[in-house]
Every structure is written in structure tokens, then in C-alpha cells.
Structure 1
């Protein structure tokens, strides 16, 4: 069975976040309940992500708020990436419901898959940049309400992030296609170099999209917490220290826990492709039943970000309450 499936290159693993080819036939043919579950999760994440990110747009969109915070500009860009990301979920839900048979044609396959991957990278890069900015702002003893020159540099930084995300997505845009496999049309990546190039692609995704960002985010927030605990300044009072520590812990844990399972199983598949790990029953079961759930968990990060970066901040909660109860226009002063 392993040899037959490997000779096909890939059958039914379009449930992967990047619709990559896999070595085994891990179709959900025998798991209609799993497909229903995935579709339901995608629908819930899409609805929650749309509402959450639209709320962020509204809270940050008031004229009074546009120049109050450096971090807010990055939060706005993060919300934009997550908003675009969740817009692709209905396509993948339909794909899953049809047993991973893509019904939208080659052009939409390329477009939707590229948008999915680009916004995944952009979201991770903005999360990373925000962790660095929070530390630098506190380390330099600057308030978050900065001079106009900082807004120019922030916009340049955001432009660089979008450019890097676009460049990282180029292999997906070039090699994504609809392939006719085992009587089905699958939206997936098809590299001319075969499994070796696919393994390189996945390793690049793991390193650039997870390992390096996790290291930068972790180091930045550890340094931030050390600074808050040791520096004699207003932000180091016990209540403030406790709130920032809690916020930082949730940020790091949510990012790590949402993405780590997906990247770990992807790394396992890379090792199998490179013959560094054996194809066995455990691998088959994990890719059939566990891997699709890790994809759902990774998608869920896009609706968690607005909660973490806005609704956890007391200023946003206060203004949101006023908005709901009085219909006031919110004014946010970032003290994150």
C-alpha cells in the first residue's frame, strides 16, 4: 500500500493548510464525520474571525485614534491579514465537504491558495514585529504616542513585511495547480522536482513561518518582562507588571499552541519524504485523523488575534462597553 500511494505522489491531502502533496493516501473517505467537523470548525472560525477583525477595524477607525499609538497601526495590519485569511475558509470548507475535490477551477485554486499562504506569513510577521516594537518602545522609555517620523518608519516596516510575505508566497503562486488524481480534481502544490523540492518547501515554511518567529517573539517578550520587573518606572508597578505578564503569556502560548501541532506533523512528513523516518500505521492514522484538526487549530489563531490584542486591553474593553451601552464613538489610548 505504501509503494502504491507513493507512486501516486499524493491523493487526498488537500486538507493541508497549503494543500501540499503527501506520500500516503490519507483521504477522509472513511471519516465523513471528520469532514463535517472540519467544515463546522471552518464556518465557526470564519464567522468569529470576520466579526472580531471587523470590530478591530471599527475600534481603530475613529479619527481621534489614528495617531495615538504605534502599536495600533500594526494591530490594524494584523487584523487586515487575518480578515483576508478567514475569507478563504469558505472555499476550503466546500473543498472538504466534497471530499477534497476542488470545484472552483485552476485560477481560483492559485488565487485562494496564494492568499491563504501570503496572509499566514503576513500574520506571523506582524505578530513578530509587534513583539519587537513593544520591547523597543519600553526600552527607549518612549510613550506609544510617538512623533510623526515614527509613523513613516512604521509604514515602511509594514510595507517590508507585506513584501516579505509576498516573496515567501511566490513558490505557492507558481506551483499551485489543480491536478487530476484518482478521478478527483485536487488543488495542491506540484513541484517539477518532486518530493525533494516539496520537502524543501515545507522546511522553509516551518523555519520562516514558525521557528524563527517563535524565537524572536519569545526573546522579545522575555526581555520585556525583565525590563518591567527591573526598571524603576511607572509601568513597573505590581498591577501593571501582572497585567503585562498575563498578556505576554497568552500571546506567546496562543501562537505556539495554535501552530506547533501543524508544523510538527508537517516536519514528520518531511522526514518521511527524505526517508529519514518510516512510513507506518501511526503516520497514516495521524495524517488521517489528527492532521486535519491541527489545520483547524492553526486557522483558529486568526480569530484569537483580535481578542488578544484588543479585547484584552482594558482601554478597548471600556470603549467597547460604552459603544454597546451608549453608542459612543470609541477613543482608544494604547498603553500596552
Structure 2
């Protein structure tokens, strides 16, 4: 039987990563969701539709993340209704691979836009992005259905599946099915998208660096986005998928598998940075919010200054020092 490897992950480390991901990723993705919905309602574009689906996937991941927090806080024992265990695991892993698909689709869209600008602009239709998104959701759901099925799979018929541990402690018969499936997930849902994403962004950078009619600032931002996306792709999803290959070779889950999974968790709060640099609508919304916050804080400044300039009551006039003149420091 496979060991409960997730217990090798320090509970404080796991809980810290989950909490940071949730409190930073949830509001950022809500903002991106609102902005992209508003943008698509006014003028839909393929890249906005792809980013919206990536946002929905991240939000779904974050909604189910508290179940993982509860599991870690309870010393990795599952003490709530068991049907939520395979469901939360299914959503947790499905949305991880959804991210690889949609990040790859965004890279293809951006590459085609610079490699074949005229042909792509004539043929690009929002409906194509809708069909592609539906295909990627269905493809990911079908592949990750194993996560939902496996906790209920009991080939021997004698040992009932454990109900106090979630998605761990698999029997040898279960591992005979699960380990090859994990290897297939690594190849189909990570390696192939990584190769496509790398090809698109490397050529995107190569083409963009030779275009003379693009400003330096805009060029550097686009190149930085491409390189940043590749780094996020490899860093967040690479170690976890390598654990699938190692697990297939040694016939059990490696002890560091769950530490690698923590890197995949971080992707939910890193994606909004990609949205910011990819979508002008998201940048405009963030800029408007910052200007609004700054404007409201500045509006309070005169009131604060006037409060300093008020004369103290007569009873305290001689006991309080004269307020400093801070207007010269503005």
C-alpha cells in the first residue's frame, strides 16, 4: 500500500501556502473576472475569452481550497462528509491542468498575432475561442475523472476504501491503474502543452525583437510577459509532473510529491499578473481602482490638515505645544 505521503509535507508550510494563495488569489481573480466579463460583453476578443476561462478555473480552484486547508489543519485526516473528498480532489487537480491548457492557448493566440498578423486578424473569431475553451474543459474533465473514481475503486472487494484519509493510502491494485494514468497526465497535459507554449513564446520573442515599429517599452513588456509565463509554467507545474514520472518508475508516490504540489497551488495567485500584462482591460481596471483609492485618500488630506490647524480649546491652550506647519512639506 502506498504511504500517506502528504503527511510528509509540514502542516505549517502547507497551511501557510494555502492561506497566502487564497487571500491573494481570490480577490485578484474576482477583479479579473469582473473586468473580463465587462470587456467581453462590450467587445469580445478571443484572448479575453481564454483569459476568462482561466480565471474561472482559478476561482473554482480557490473555492475548493478551504477543504485542503481543513484537511491540513486536521493533521491530514478527513473528518467531514466523504463525498467532498473525491469532489474536492477532482476540482483541485482538474483546475491545475486546466491552467496548462489555457496558458498554452493564450501563447498560441499571441504567437499567431505576431507571426501572421493579417491572416490571423481576418480569421480570428470569438466563437473559435469558445469552442476551444469547451474542448479544453471537457478534455481535462475526462482525463481527471480518475481522481474522482479512484477513491471508490475497490478491486479486491474485501478491503473497503479508507474514509478518514483523502486520496492517499492506495492499495497495490489501485496503484497499478493510478501510476500509469499519472504518467499519461504528465505527457499529455503537461509536456505537450509546455512544448507548444515554449515554441510559441520563443518565436514570439524572436519576431517581436525584429519589429521596428513597436516602442521599446511595449516590446520589453511583451517579452517580459512571454518569459514570465514560461517560468511560471515550468516552475509551478514542472516539479509536480516530474513526480508522476518518478512515481511510475519507483512504483509509488515519491516523498516530495506534496511539496511539489504546493508550487502548483501558487499558480492561482500568479495568473492575475499574467492577466494584467496580457489584457489592456485588466490594466485599465487596476489603474482606475488605484487612482480611485489614491484620490479618496488625497481628498482626506485637507481635512486632516485643517484638523491640525484648529486652535486648541482655551483650557489647553497653554499646556499643548503649537502644531507644526506641515504644509511646507507637501
- Give the shorter-chain TM-score range: 0.7 to 0.9
Secondary structure in structure 2 of the residue aligned to 1:176: helix
The corresponding residue for 1:202 is 182
Counterpart of 1:253 (choices 205, 217, 231) is: 231
Change (3 A) 1:175 1:182: closer
Change (3 A) 1:308 1:149: closer
* 1:68 CA displacement: 5.0
Higher helix proportion, which one?
2
Consecutive unaligned residues of structure 2, counting only runs of 5 or more, are 294-330
* 1:314 CA displacement: 6.4
* 1:252 CA displacement: 0.4
* 1:86 CA displacement: 1.6
Superposed, 1:243-322 pairs within 5 Å as 243-273=221-251, 287=255, 290-310=256-276, 316-322=282-288
Q: Does 1:214 align with 2:194?
A: yes
Superposed, 1:144-183 pairs within 5 Å as 150-177=125-152
The corresponding residue for 1:18 is none
Output the CA distance in 2 between the equivalents of 1:326 and 1:95: 40
Secondary structure in structure 2 of the residue aligned to 1:187: coil
Q: Deviation per CA, 1:268-324, whole angstroms, max 9, x where unpaired?
A: 2221118xxxx9xxx6xxx2xx44332211100111001122257666334422233
Is contact 2:243–2:257 with CA below 8 Å preserved after alignment? yes
Consecutive unaligned residues of structure 1, counting only runs of 5 or more, are 1-8, 16-26, 328-336
- Choose 74-83 or 240-249, whichever is displaced more: 240-249
Report the TM-score when normalising by structure 2.
0.77
Output the CA distance in 2 between the equivalents of 1:143 and 1:65: 25
The corresponding residue for 2:73 is 97
Output the CA distance in 1 between the equivalents of 2:136 and 2:205: 25
* 1:65 CA displacement: 6.1
Change (3 A) 1:59 1:273: same
Point out the structure with max Rg over C-alpha: 2
Is contact 1:60–1:72 with CA below 8 Å preserved after alignment? yes
Secondary structure in structure 2 of the residue aligned to 1:88: helix
The corresponding residue for 1:139 is 115
Count, aligned residues: 288
Secondary structure in structure 2 of the residue aligned to 1:230: coil
Change (3 A) 1:103 1:143: farther
Change (3 A) 1:198 1:182: closer
Report the TM-score when normalising by structure 1.
0.76
Considering only aligned residues, what root-mean-square deviation do their CA atoms show, in Å? Answer: 3.1
